[in-house]
Structure formats: C-alpha cells, structure tokens
Amino acid sequence: MLIAPLLSHPRFAGDCVLSKSISNVIVMWKPVVGKGGRSGIASANDSDGVVPLREFVLDECNLWFIRFNLDDQARFLAIGNNLGEVRVWDMIGDVLMMQSGEGGKRGKVETTEYLLRHEGARTCVRNLKFNGNGDLIVTVSDGGRVFVYQFDGGDAIDM
C-alpha cells in the first residue's frame, strides 16, 4: 500500500506503476506481491508491498484531478500544471535503469525533461493525451481552451 494525500490516477508503465497526489510529485513504484498477499512498503526482509523507484517533482501542480499521461510506448510522461504549462519527461533512462537491475534504488536519475508553454495558456491544464505517434500532445484547460503541442519542437498550436 502506498500512502499519499489524495492519491489518484494510477497507471501502469511496464511492470511499474505511476501515481500522482496533491503533493507536487508523481511517484514511480514497483508492486511486490509475495505469498502472504499483504500490502505495505517492501523492505529487504519483506516478500510483498511496494518499492518506490523514482519521483518526478512537479511545479505548481498541487491540485487534485490534474491527470498525467504516457505515450503509447510508455517512453514519455507528460502532465500539465496550475499555470497552463506542460512538463514532459523522457523515461528511457528509467526503463534502462530498471532493466539493468538498479531499480531498487530510489533517487535521482538523469532524465531529459521538457517544458512546453503557450502565451495563451494561463489556466490549469487538467488533462492531456499523446497522439499515436507521440509527436503531438493535446491539452484541456480550466479556461475551456484546447491546445495542441507539437512535441518534437515544443511549438504550440492554439485550437
């Protein structure tokens, strides 16, 4: 069991789970289920629980019901914030770290991060979605506006 204030929107990313709370962070964790079927935080002596792997620290994203999303290949993680910005992480470094067996350590991982902005986007981005190719991100904001970001160059197209 992972405990955080107002935890919402868990998503699988391979064998790991991503979840967000109102604490300005997305946590990547690995569920560990043993014979006992218990839930809790796993330690070296436990056979089940969760192992926190990584935190993605967010700026101005402390509201509940701000959804993050992954592209279809689970390479890129994106989320909006209270200011109308979109933050995107290239998760390939995390995936390689976990495959190499170093995923048991929680902490900082060198991951490329992008910040997408548009001068017309000034209200909270509540939800977003990648297109099938992963090169466009559509966002919906509290102001009733929809923006499409061309992710390869970071340019925004106002819809």
The arithmetic mean of pLDDT across residues 20-28, rounded, is 86
Q: What percent of the chain has pLDDT over 70?
A: 71
Find the range with the poorest average confidence among 2-16, 92-106, 115-129: 92-106
pLDDT band at 80 (very low <50, low <70, confident <90, very high): very high
| Identity of the highest mean pLDDT range in 40-49, 50-59, 102-111, 138-147 | 138-147
29-78 tens-digit pLDDT: 888 876 555 555 555 455 457 888 888 888 888 887 899 999 998 889 99
pLDDT for residue 34: 65
Amino acid found at 42: A
Predicted confidence band of residue 157 (pLDDT cuts 50, 70, 90): low
Helix (H, G, I), strand (E, B) or coil at 92: helix
Class (C level, CATH) for 8-158: mainly beta
Residue 14 backbone class (left: φ over 0; alpha: ψ -120 to 50; beta: rest)? left
Residue 5 has pLDDT above 70, yes or no: no
Between vectors from CA 151 to CA 125 and to CA 118, what angle results, nearest 5°? 45
Give the pLDDT band (50/70/90) at residue 85. very high
Is the pLDDT higher at 117 or at 42? 117
User: Could you tell me the CA-to-CA distances from 147 to 26, 69, 119, 135, 158 in Å, in that order?
Assistant: 23, 15, 11, 14, 5
- Which two tokens mark 153? 């160059």
pLDDT above 90 covers what percent of the chain? Answer: 30
Whether 137 has a pLDDT exceeding 90, the answer reads yes
Q: What is the pTM (predicted TM-score) of this model? A: 0.76
